[in-house]
Amino acid sequence: MLTASLVPSAGRVSWHIKPHRFRSVACTHPGRVRKLNEDACLDRPEAGLWAVADGMGGHNAGDVASAAVIDSLARVSEFGSAYAFRRGVRSALVAANNQLQQMADEDLLGPIGATVVTLLAHRGHYACIWAGDSRAYHQRAGVFTRITRDHSLVQELVDVGELDGEQARAHRSANVVTRAVGAQARLDLDGVHGRIEVGDRFLLCSDGLAAVLDDAELASHMRADTIAATALSLMRAALETGAPDNVTFVLIEAEAA
């Protein structure tokens, strides 16, 4: 985790997921305004599984929601095939959704939810599964691309041409999500997948990072020589903007096995 001192961990390395090994760094910070950090993240390079969860702002127990999502993903143990792995992650997210629904009903807390974005790596391929506006990006040969689509009100307005990207960032409803773990009885997840190449980098982040640094700014920081340097650069930049929300991200790099 990245603390207020801005010193990231040295990173964790997986040595046995052929044909790649993975180096990763996970960072989280409450930001400059909020006292409570309602984000959580997962860093399991030995399993090829990473995630970021963001407790829904304005709802009760956002930190409880994000912790429940990450705890459920931490128990995933189905790695026999890509299909089993994806099924295990989806099942874990559904279990977290059911748990949060039950907690809300029993404790009369009202909606308890968290957005989530996950990355799975298995035998030269990746899959990304998400709900909400936590994002995943992919960098290959210097080309930086967002691979998730926000489940949010402003994204729907962008899709129909009523807003452009800059207007969406400044919109008063920018934090209104249309999907989240725990928000509804039925969890609706999205997913994409692709091949992994040596040198690929991935960035998973909560909207606390994406809301203060646009895609071009994120891309400029991703050009750092190492993911540890990238992590330090990203967090410093986010905090220098004022970081009104919690800031959490995970960086992953694929190396030759």
What's CA 159's distance to the chain center, in Å? Answer: 22
pLDDT: which is higher, 56 or 99:
99
* Beta-bridge mates of residue 127: 120, 193
Quick one: pLDDT at residue 168? 54
Quick one: pLDDT at residue 95? 98
Quick one: pLDDT at residue 3? 42
Condensed to tens digits (0 to 9), the pLDDT of residues 129-178 reads 999 999 999 999 999 999 999 997 776 565 555 555 665 555 455 567 89
Quick one: pLDDT at residue 4? 40
Report CA torsion sign: 30, 28, 128, 201.
Answer: positive
Condensed to tens digits (0 to 9), the pLDDT of residues 30-50 reads 999 999 999 999 999 999 999
Helix (H) or strand (E) holding 74: helix 62-74
**Residue 37 burial class via C-beta count within 10 angstroms: exposed 0-12, middle 13-18, buried 19 and up:** buried
What distance in Å separates the CA atoms of residue 95 and residue 181, rounded to the nearest whole number? Answer: 10
Quick one: pLDDT at residue 57? 58
Domain 14-256: give its CATH code: 3.60.40.10
Residue 248 has pLDDT above 60, yes or no: yes
Q: Phi and psi at residue 32, in whole multiples of 5°? A: -90, -15
Work out the mean pLDDT of the chain and round it to a whole number.
88
Say what percent of the chain tops pLDDT 70: 82
Quick one: pLDDT at residue 153? 75
What distance in Å separates the CA atoms of residue 85 and residue 251, rounded to the nearest whole number? Answer: 20
Least confident residue range of 159-173, 191-205, 229-243: 159-173
Residue 75 has pLDDT above 80, yes or no: yes
**Residue 66 burial class via C-beta count within 10 angstroms: exposed 0-12, middle 13-18, buried 19 and up:** buried
Structure tokens at 33: 């305004």
Residue 78 has pLDDT above 70, yes or no: yes
Domain coordinates of the chain in residue numbers? 14-256
Task: Label residue 124 by pLDDT band (50, 70, 90).
Answer: very high
Helix (H) or strand (E) holding 36: none
Nearest by Cα to 28 from 46, 14, 9:
9
- Tell me the pTM: 0.90
Helix (H) or strand (E) holding 144: strand 143-146
For the segment 72-82, the average pLDDT, to the nearest whole number, is 95
